[in-house]
Amino acid sequence: MIPLRLTALCLCVLSSACVKRVVTPPPEAFVTLGSDRASYRDWSRVGDLCAVDPKLVQQDFDSMNTLLANFLGQTSAGPDGVWGEEHVALLEEAQRVLPVALDLQKRGLNQAARAGCRFEGLTRTQELTDLGRKRLAEAPELLEVVKAKKALAAWRDGRLGAQQAASEKACAPVKGRPPGPVVYAAFEDEKGRTEWMFCDGSKVAASPGSLPAYEPPAPDAAAKKPKKPAEPKAYLDAQAKFPSAEVSRAPRLPVKKLVRKDDAPEPE
């Protein structure tokens, strides 16, 4: 009887040892950015990642990799690059939806690094996660610069049309108008240089720190004889009387603080 009891006890112990401890995975969550959707969980809540289905952990890492690679690729232009409206919108959206997912992804990576089992592509996942967090940290300054440059480009594009319309209105002959130079428009660029445009093609220009200076029009190659040089004082007097409120001013660019030091290339 004793040998039978010992055999049964051994079988019971062996059977218990062979049963793998099953751990319930954390609740699944999703993040959607642009056209990509990725799953993630708080894997830091699991003491032993080897005790859960490794496919679930790998699935979360892989889906976040795809989303982050696409996000980083579409927002990689930097402060001096060309940004489409869709890329600006993507970076703005990322600021709202990515922080929690990236934070939990970082925790999960730390947990996976300590696990006794192995997961594929952890180095790549770590790189994309770090780049994603860096891009979000840069986003407020980057968006400020990008939006200011887009506004400046729109101002420049509109200047020619505004100049032509102002010229047609102000330079049309008016009965009884006293003789003398007529300012039809004035523009101040993003660096503070102002130009007052005159109907005869002359201009007065002033840069920050310098007095306004008269600039004659380009010579008329078809003229039989050169025109008599104009009197600069008349133009400077007209410029001084032009209302400051009517000067079209370019949007100013923010002071450049953002410095990109990504040694690693952007993901493809």
DSSP letters for 77-121: S-TTS---HHHHHHHHHHHHHHHHHHHHHHHHHHHHHHSSS--TT
Give SS3 for 27. Answer: coil
Q: For position 13, what pLDDT does the model report?
A: 44
- In sequence order, the β-bridge partners of residue 234 are none
Q: For position 42, what pLDDT does the model report?
A: 96
Tell me the pLDDT of the chain averaged across its residues.
Answer: 86
Q: What is the pLDDT along the chain (268 residues), one digit of tens a residue?
A: 445 454 444 444 444 444 456 678 999 999 999 999 999 999 999 988 888 888 899 999 999 999 999 999 999 999 999 999 999 999 999 999 999 999 999 999 999 988 888 888 999 999 999 999 999 999 999 999 999 999 999 999 999 899 989 998 889 888 777 788 999 999 999 999 999 999 999 999 999 999 999 999 988 766 666 677 789 999 999 999 999 999 999 999 987 665 555 544 455 4
Chain segment 170-181, per-residue pLDDT in tens: 898 887 777 889
Q: 54-74 vs 85-114: helix axis angle to the nearest 10?
A: 150
Tell me which residue of 238, 239, 223 sits closest to 188, measured CA to CA: 239
Give the pTM. 0.74
In this structure, which amino acid lies at residue 102?
L
Q: For position 7, what pLDDT does the model report?
A: 47
Please tell me the distance from the alpha carbon of residue 67 to that of residue 36, in angstroms, as a whole number: 6
Please state, in angstroms and as integers, the Cα–Cα distance from residue 189 to each residue in 69, 145, 185, 250, following that order: 38, 16, 13, 5
Please tell me the distance from the alpha carbon of residue 62 to that of residue 56, in angstroms, as a whole number: 10
Tell me which residue of 69, 85, 1 sits closest to 9, measured CA to CA: 1
Characterize the bridge pairing of strands 213-215 and 203-206.
antiparallel
